Amino acid sequence: MSGISTPAETETPADRLGRAEAEAADLRLRLKESLERERRLTELLRQAEEELSDVPRTEFELRHQIDNYAAFHHAVEKSLPWRVLQLLRRLVGREW
């Protein structure tokens, strides 16, 4: 034999205990990080759900809003005060 020993041959009970403690500490740290990550993701999900609740929920509601805006725009364009204002703007010019 060359006198070089493998780690398994020279490992003492203290070495095994130290390795086991290190692995246990590593597992505790991984668990703590996993729980923190889960907490952050849960908080992000809760915030996203709150923001979504402010958005109109259906296509019908969106179409209804667009229809209301279109009706308002049409009413303004057909109103007498709006047409008089546009006539004055054409006569006087855009900058008055």
Neighbours of 75 (CB within 10 A): 10
Neighbours of 11 (CB within 10 A): 13
Residue 77 host element (H or E): helix 59-78
Neighbours of 20 (CB within 10 A): 10
Measured on CA atoms in the order 26, 31, 36, 38, is the torsion positive or negative? positive
Q: Is the pLDDT of residue 6 over 60?
A: no
Provide the pLDDT confidence category of residue 95 given band limits of 50, 70 and 90.
low
Length of the chain as a residue count? 96
pTM of this structure: 0.45
